[in-house]
Amino acid sequence: MLQDLDRTLEELLRRELLPNLSSILPSSSSITISFASPDERFSSEVALPAIGLFLYDVRENLDLRRNVWGAERQTDLSAQNKRPLIRVDCSYLITAWSRDSLDARTEHYLMGEVMKIFLKYRQLPRPILQGVLQDYPQPVRVLALRPSSLNLGDFWQALGGKPKVTLNCTLTVGIPVEEADDTVPIVLEQQVALSNPLPNSRESTRV
């Protein structure tokens, strides 16, 4: 699933970002969209200019958890208990990289364009969804510019890289979970039987 989410983000940026870069990047068709860690080796191992989309956190969204199970009717007149979708937050740290590490103008331009794209959508457009995401019943929610769970100072120090402007974007995916078979028959009719019938309400007296 995560690789399909990566492919979906790449498709989104190629559709929405590349057409807007001709004014500042004449060879914009060669811009790289990378999911590598933005460490000290990034600029030497990834073709620049580039947009970095680093998936740094995956966790269940407990605020959206539902505990009510559903029942799905089967063709054999049985019903299968269905667990509710698990909402999973996938958080990306987005960075921009120019060919010249001192070219802050280009990097800020790229970040601004990327920011506008993620603010434009509250959910990812269904036509761009890749792989299994096409089959998931719920749309993929987009939350950009929300506080990151990262301590950026510690993050950059741990990676050994120089601090850069970052954009945090969290995508929430509703994932169906397959459970062990739990099939029960459907109740089609109801029968009521009285084991102790009431006596005749009309009493008779023998003389």
pLDDT digits (tens, 9 = 90+) for 7-38: 999 999 999 998 878 766 665 457 899 999 99
Q: Would you say how long the chain is, in residues? A: 207
pLDDT digits (tens, 9 = 90+) for 175-189: 988 765 555 555 556
- Whether residue 176 lies inside any domain: the answer is no
- Whether residue 43 lies inside any domain: the answer is yes
- Whether residue 56 lies inside any domain: the answer is yes
The radius of gyration of the chain's CA atoms, rounded to the nearest angstrom, is: 28
- Whether residue 32 lies inside any domain: the answer is yes
- Whether residue 205 lies inside any domain: the answer is no
CA distance 168 to 147: 7
- Whether residue 187 lies inside any domain: the answer is no
Q: How many domains does the chain have?
A: 1
- Whether residue 12 lies inside any domain: the answer is yes
Greatest distance between any 2 Cα atoms in the chain? 119
Range of the domain at 48: 2-60+89-168
- Whether residue 24 lies inside any domain: the answer is yes
- pLDDT number for residue 161: 77
User: Predicted confidence band at 80 (pLDDT cuts at 50, 70, 90)?
Assistant: low
pLDDT digits (tens, 9 = 90+) for 35-59: 999 999 999 999 999 999 999 999 9
Kindly give, in sequence order, each residue whose CB lies less than 8 Å from that of residue 182, ignoring residues fewer than 6 positions away: 80, 81
